[in-house]
């Protein structure tokens, strides 16, 4: 089994993609953005490889306006060297990639122009993942579409359009249940008529179902839609954000909820996490359930979280330090429980200042006199609470870059 995340990274430098408006979409601008985005994708692939993350959904934004007439570039050939280099890394790291065309890719639309554009968009996604060396096990996930006042007719239209699709698209396409219109039962009906594999989404099912059964039951049913050539069955997993509208993904994965889900499964599929903190939750779940236990994995995580935890709770900071002292133990669940608990506590002004002083300790002996004076001025103002903590953090961030401090570079606090 592999556990992965979708599209972007958080707290990873150069892990965001760029785009542009159609009005500024010149060929030169597109070349600049595509070059930048491919460099970003390579950074993310390197990150995933270094963290044993073998499942990743690639953003559709890599090539802006790829299926639109405004983009006339032969981008597959122009950037073939970049694609080949990234493809080699994907293969070496055994990363299974996927993509999820957006909400305007609707095969059962009542408007023929929308259907035509949707197929063009699917072609773009096929070309992109194949440029990255994807075989049939790398999938494009699509929702069935709209209902348009007649669900049965809408399902029939989807089936008819699907049957006309080129085999190159069918090879990669899978469908997913959604939270409003199409239940997992509907998707299974479509599979029976077309053979298209189905992805089960637990939160969508919770919000939209005809028959409420366990996740294990539905995953077992859906597994039957996957052929050997499609690879390991994939599912989508997310948790409801309790403070937002129904269907909103949580900020992070609650490890106890995930443990219950994981242990309830009768077979182990590939699990794509849909969560706001993306790679952070993916590593959390991998560390708790998919690694050979070794304290070094938790120590690596602690280097990222420690100052963020300290800014929220010095008590929990000390508890985690004590927890990690036993080098023969592997208290992964308790480790993440404490981190998540700390992050629910609002930082106090004093705890923020204490954290900033800890970080300044890395620079106080090497900083220039001017940098020391600047820091003291900022902190003096902070003692009177007259300026934002954010300004001090920004100053320290500049020192991290200037002095190339790799340890602090990935700190979640900064």
Residue 59 per-residue DSSP state = P
Same domain, yes or no, for 194 and 167? yes
CA angle 135, 139, 141 (to 5 degrees): 165
pLDDT at residue 328, as a whole number:
94
Indicate whether 149 and 37 sit together in one domain: yes
pLDDT in tens, 140-161: 999 999 999 999 999 999 999 9
- Output the pLDDT for position 68: 87
Per the structure block, which two tokens stand in for 161?
Answer: 């359009």
- Span of 8-17, 39-48, 162-171 with lowest mean pLDDT: 8-17
Count CB-CB contacts under 10 A for residue 72: 10
In a domain, 67, yes or no: yes
Q: Is residue 245 part of a domain?
A: yes
In a domain, 221, yes or no: yes
- Compute the average pLDDT of residues 305-325: 97
288-300: average pLDDT: 93
Q: Is 207 in the same domain as 262?
A: yes
The CATH code of the domain that includes 145 is: 3.20.20.150
Same-domain pairing of 399 and 257? no
Report d(CA 278, CA 48) in Å as an integer. 12
Residue whose C-alpha is closest to residue 104's, from 63, 152, 68: 68
| Residue-wise pLDDT tens digits, 97-140 | 999 999 899 999 999 999 999 999 999 999 999 999 999 999 99
Residue 383: pLDDT over 70: no
> What average pLDDT score do residues 292-296 get?
93
pLDDT given for residue 13 in this prediction: 81
Domain interval for residue 315: 295-342
Are 270 and 304 in the same domain? Answer: no
pLDDT confidence of 266, banded at 50, 70, 90? confident
Q: How many angstroms separate the Cα of 145 from the Cα of each of 99, 138, 148? A: 17, 22, 9
**Is 374 in contact with 391 (CB distance < 8 Å)?**
no
- Which stretch of 49-58, 199-208, 373-382 has the lowest confidence by average pLDDT? 373-382
Averaged pLDDT for residues 270-276: 97
Q: What is the pTM of this model?
A: 0.92
**Averaged pLDDT of the chain:** 94
Which residues make beta-bridge pairs with 140? 99, 173
Number of domains the chain contains: 3
239 and 307 share one domain: no
At 219-265, the pLDDT tens digits run: 999 999 999 999 999 999 999 999 899 999 999 999 999 999 999 88
In a domain, 414, yes or no: no
pLDDT of residue 248: 93
């Amino acid at each position: 089994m592999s556990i992965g995340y979708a599209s972007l990274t958080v707290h990873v430098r150069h892990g965001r993609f760029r785009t542009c408006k159609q009005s500024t979409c010149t060929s030169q601008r597109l070349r600049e953005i595509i070059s930048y985005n491919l460099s970003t994708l390579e950074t993310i692939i390197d990150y995933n490889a270094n963290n044993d993350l073998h499942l990743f959904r690639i953003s559709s934004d890599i090539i802006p306006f790829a299926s639109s007439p405004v983009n006339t570039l032969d981008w597959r050939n122009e950037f073939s060297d970049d694609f080949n280099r990234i493809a080699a890394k994907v293969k070496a790291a055994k990363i299974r990639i996927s993509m999820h065309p957006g909400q305007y890719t609707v095969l059962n639309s009542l408007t023929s122009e929308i259907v035509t554009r949707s197929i063009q968009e699917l072609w773009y996604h096929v070309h992109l993942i194949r440029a990255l060396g994807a075989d049939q096990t790398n999938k494009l996930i699509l929702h069935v579409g709209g209902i348009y006042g007649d669900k049965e007719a809408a399902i029939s239209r989807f089936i008819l359009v699907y049957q006309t699709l080129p085999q190159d698209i069918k090879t990669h396409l899978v469908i997913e249940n959604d939270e409003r219109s199409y239940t997992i039962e509907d998707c299974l009906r479509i599979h029976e008529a077309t053979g298209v594999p189905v992805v089960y989404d637990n939160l969508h099912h919770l919000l939209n179902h005809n028959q409420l059964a366990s996740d294990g039951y539905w995953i077992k049913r859906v597994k039957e839609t996957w052929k050997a050539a499609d690879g390991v069955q994939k599912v989508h997993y997310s948790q409801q954000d309790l403070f937002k509208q129904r269907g909103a993904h949580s900020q992070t994965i609650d490890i106890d909820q995930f443990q219950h889900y994981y242990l309830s499964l009768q077979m182990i599929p590939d699990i794509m996490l849909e969560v706001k903190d993306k790679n952070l939750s993916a590593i959390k779940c991998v560390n708790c359930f998919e690694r050979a236990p070794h304290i070094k994995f938790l120590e690596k995580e602690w280097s990222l979280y420690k100052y963020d935890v300290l800014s929220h709770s010095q008590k929990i900071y000390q508890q985690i330090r004590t927890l990690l002292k036993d080098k023969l133990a592997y208290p992964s669940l308790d480790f993440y429980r404490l981190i998540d608990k700390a992050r629910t506590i609002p930082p106090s002004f004093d705890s923020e200042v204490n954290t900033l002083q800890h970080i300044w300790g890395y620079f106080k002996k090497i900083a220039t006199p001017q940098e020391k004076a600047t820091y003291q001025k900022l902190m003096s103002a902070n003692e009177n609470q007259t300026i934002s903590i954010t300004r001090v953090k920004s100053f320290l961030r500049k020192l991290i870059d200037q002095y190339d401090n790799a340890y602090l570079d990935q700190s979640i606090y900064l």
